[in-house]
Amino acid sequence: MTKRIVVGMSGGVDSSVAALLLKQQGYDVVGLFMKNWEDDDSDEYCSSRQDLLDAVSVADTIGIPIEAVNFAEEYKERVFSYFLREYQAGRTPNPDILCNSEIKFKAFLDHAIQLGADVIATGHYAQVREAGGLFQLLKADDDSKDQSYFLHRLNQSQLGHAMFPLGKLLKSEVRAIAEQHGLSNYAKKDSTGICFIGERPFREFLNRYLPTQPGEMRTPDGKVVGKHIGLSFYTIGQRQGLGIGGAKDASGEPWFVASKDMANNRLIVVQGHDHPALLSKRLTALDSHWISGTAPPMRRAISRRWTASAAHSSSTSRNGRSRPDSRWCSTTAISAWAAQSSNRGWIDSRKIHVYISVGRMRP
């Protein structure tokens, strides 16, 4: 019996090519479009209607059935509420990570199984491998598009039901395949906004749900250098949008957000790339998640989110960049809020969202 695969189709080129490749491989492919946001669906930043039209057009070209499903309630309950709580607490969350674990690989997976799916597939740039009875999450061959970081909260059951057909392809190859097969969205711009919410002005959007609580911007020594509109609207390490670049008696160097004094509603800012307040010798990583289900031996490989380098082992990918050896890397991961800088063990608060990959080391 032919395996049935339900593909999450967003209307973008990646998920479209994923569906095309699976169809070419002989699978029974069904497309599923997810609508997960309704609050302001009619404004200029929400493209869900056009995305649905694109997904339907591609499904027709490929020759597969497609249906639409609404997960707006689940998204608000499982993802957006967390998103707002984190901002209210002064932190900067990444909702796409929770969106994947709670919506695409939970609500979507459950619905796909009801449709008779054996597995689900998406257009993520990542890979899954089964080894020793466990499913491992691996990086994609295209380091510049790798999305394994955004999938690191998936568990064994979710990975065991997942396929990522684009894991060994470069983005340029994906667009070429789409064009060669007449997919109407082959040149469609990639989405870069918040998961399912779109590319709207972020501060304006956040202000709809969180009240502004203006306060002082101060330096670590207590000097008042400006006013902020509310601590929730700033991120540790932020440089743009502070409004104090031309402060009197300033050195002319850029200003950065160093910390937040939540108790006194003060935003602590410093000037200069190498200010000591931007550095620390340690970080605290909370809410760890082990993909294997149990914590591995505590020898660590730390892969910085904005590079493709690892601490102790690498190989060369197809685009010529160094990347962690996939034989051990990415068996599990945790998310943290700082990253090692080049300053010999110091942690730079401006380089946030470290992807810490902890795997069983090779002998």
Catalytic residues: 99, 195
Return d(Cα 100, Cα 196) in angstroms, integer: 11
Bridge partners of 144, per DSSP, are none
The type of residue at 325 is: D
357 three-state secondary structure? strand
Alpha-carbon separation of residue 99 from 109, 271, 341 (angstroms): 13, 35, 29
* Among 100, 143, 95, CA closest to 8: 100
Which residues are 227's β-sheet partners? 216
Q: Which residues contact 320 (CB under 8 A, 6 or more apart)?
A: none
Closest alpha carbon to 169 in 10, 16, 17: 17
CA dist., res. 123 & res. 15, Å (int): 4
Sheet bearing 255-261, strands edge to edge: 224-228, 215-218, 266-271, 255-261
**87-105 b/e with 16+ CB inside 10 Å = b?**
beebeebbbbbbbbbbbbb
Helix (H, G, I), strand (E, B) or coil at 291: coil
Residue with tokens 């609580």: 213
- What is d(CA 116, CA 280) in angstroms, rounded to the nearest whole number? 51
Please enumerate, as own/partner, the contacts of 72-81 that have beta carbons within 8 Å and a separation of 24 or more: 72/35, 72/36, 72/37, 72/38, 74/36, 74/102, 74/103, 74/107, 75/36, 75/37, 75/99, 75/103, 75/196, 78/102, 78/103, 78/106, 78/107, 79/103, 79/195
φ and ψ of 258, to 5 deg: -95, -35
* Measured distance CA(106)–CA(310) in Å, rounded: 31
Dihedrals phi, psi of 307, to nearest 5 degrees: -130, 180
